[in-house]
Chain A
Amino acid sequence: MISAYIPIAIFVVVATGFAIFTLVFTSLIHPEKYNKVKLEPYECGIEPATDARDRYSIRYYLIAMLFVIFDVETVFMFPWAVIFDQLLLFGLIEMMVFIFILVVGYYYAWQKGALEWV
């Protein structure tokens, strides 16, 4: 039972260990030469114009909200899919009802332009 989680534990240890190792190792070997450009935050090569704590557009929130809703919808499909062969037609119909109600919301989002960026 618990042995099934040993790969996950190894993964966690390696991931955090690599992060800590990289930070410690580079801090040991790097040369101590700084200038203004070097200390600026790296933003894909573009010069940072404003502070990172600027206010974001509400569109990001809308997209994130829609993502979470469809995420949760998918979560309901996992336990349904693993026993689909036992639920048969009954299971298919109840999932159809579930998805239909959400498709109504999807249609609404589409009609209101919530999925468009501009």
Chain B
Amino acid sequence: MGEAIAFYTLAAFILGFAVLVITTKDTVHSVLFLVLDFLFVAALYVMLNAPFLAAIQVLVYAGGIVVLYLFVVMLVNLKRLPEAFQDPNRHGRIGLILSVAVLLELAAIAALGVGSVAPVRTAARALPVTGNTEQVGWMLYTSYLIPFEIASMLLLVAMIGAIVLAKREL
């Protein structure tokens, strides 16, 4: 019962801040609301008994990714008139139909799929270590070794891509 109350309170905050992110006029403000949103998502991870993920959410998302967002906002020329942001090729009606379709799809999944979801595998019990961070590490560095090494390639590509995009002459 208490858990349900905590979950719905957090969910309300997450949705509320998400709405503020897309409705505020000032882009910098909307990025700051995004920070708050990420912090509440971190609280949700704490509720799911995933403190490692919560700490990473705060460190990487609320701390690092948002800095990137802010710089992207500041790189864009925000001084143009509001009319300059009107896109004549915007298909508002198609967008509305598509978003309603996606919403119905998600509602159908939520309504019909609840009973049929397979229970989460409790593989963590078989691990030789205790503690959330240790378990994450054990899974990552034994079972998911290849994805872990591929992640480094992904980071390499991101690094080279950023340099190629941002440097004027290579």
**A contact residues vs B (CB 8 Å cutoff):** 1, 5, 51, 53-56, 58-62, 64-69, 71-73, 75-76, 78-80, 82-83, 86-87, 91, 94, 97-99, 101-102, 104-106, 108-109, 112-114
Contacts and interface: CB of A to CB of B under 8 A. Distances in A.
Contact of B166 (A62, A69, A104): A62
Contacts of B65: 68
B71 A79 contact: no
Interface string B132-156: 0110111011100100110111011
Interface of B: 28, 46, 49, 52, 56, 59-60, 63-65, 67-68, 71-72, 74-79, 128-129, 131, 133-134, 136-138, 140-142, 145, 148-149, 151-153, 155-156, 158-160, 162-163, 166-167, 170
Contacts of B136: 79
A104 B156 CA distance: 8
Name B's interface SS. helix
A102 B72 contact: no
Contact of B170 (A68, A76, A112): A112
Contacts, number: 133
Contacts of A64: 64, 67-68, 71
Contact of B79 (A51, A56, A91): A51
A89 to B, nearest CB: 12
B155 A62 contact: no
B76 A108 contact: no
Contacts of A55: 74-77
A47 B149 CA distance: 50
Given A60-B71, A61-B68, A64-B67, A79 B52 contact: yes
Given A65-B68, A80-B137, A105 B170 contact: no
A102 B155 contact: yes
A79 B72 CA distance: 31
Contacts of B163: 62, 108-109, 112, 114
A102 B156 contact: yes
Given A55-B77, A98-B149, A68 B68 contact: yes
B159 A94 contact: no
B71 A71 contact: no
Contacts of A97: 149, 152
Contact of A56 (B46, B64, B74): B74
A72 B63 CA distance: 11
Contacts of A54: 74
B64 A67 contact: yes
Nearest to B151: A76
A114 B167 contact: yes
A101 B68 contact: no
